[in-house]
Amino acid sequence: MKYKQLIIAVIMILIQLNLIGQEWKVDDVVVYEKFDDLEEIFYQNNDTIQLINFWATWCGPCVKELPYIEELHEKEFNFPLKITLVSLDFAKKIDTKLIPFLNKKEIKSEVVLLNDSKTNQWIDKVDPSWSGSIPIIVIYKGDQRFFFEQEFHSTQELVEIIQKIK
């Protein structure tokens, strides 16, 4: 009986350690085949500031910008900040491209993959002014909303925008 409890305790500790290690696995990235199933992340109505970044490992400016977004986890704001990285990587290459990248860069944000190739049907739903180039960033809380179709070059630029949110 005691051995059983010990084994369970050891297993629990191992699971915990694994979690602390934050090793990305294929199952950690939720794949959305339809934009409509993802759309609710743009309409959360609570006290959290949402930052949503559309990017891909094949997009040079996106990869350059990512560390500035990740650094936001170290900053303090008046409201909790939730960062979602929406990858437009190819679903076939999740295990060979995306997961190794997330591990190499030690990405802490939530990562989802959008695999909806009918782009003309959903680009306007993200923002009507978006032409379709990446990276983009949406920052919002409630009905305060900012949209940027551009690459950011520092964490500070992002901090200043987030601080505008009341």
Partner 1 sequence: MTKFFSFSVLIPLLFFALPNFHGGLHIGDKAPDFSLKSINGNYVSLEDFEDAKGYIVTFTCNHCPYAVFYEDRLVDLHNKYAPMGYPVIAINPNDPDIQPGDSYDDMIVRAGEKAFPFVYLFDSEQKVYPQYGATKTPHVYLLDKDKIVRYIGAIDDNAREPEEVTERYVENAIAAIEAGKNPDPATTKAIGCSIKVKK
Where along the sequence are the contacts to partner 1 (CB under 8 A)? 58-61, 88, 90, 117-120, 123-124, 130-135, 149, 151
Closer residue to partner 1 (CB): 146 or 148: 148
The torsion angles phi and psi of 5, rounded to 5 degrees, stand at -60, -40
- CB of 86 vs partner 1, minimal distance in Å: 11
Closer residue to partner 1 (CB): 81 or 86: 86
Euclidean distance between CA atoms 61 and 165, whole angstroms: 26
- CB of 85 vs partner 1, minimal distance in Å: 15
Dihedral sign (CA 30, 36, 109, 57): positive
- CB of 70 vs partner 1, minimal distance in Å: 20
Euclidean distance between CA atoms 20 and 137, whole angstroms: 28
Residues shown for the chain: 166
- CB of 117 vs partner 1, minimal distance in Å: 5
Inter-helix orientation angle 60-70/155-163, to 10°: 60
Closer residue to partner 1 (CB): 99 or 136: 136
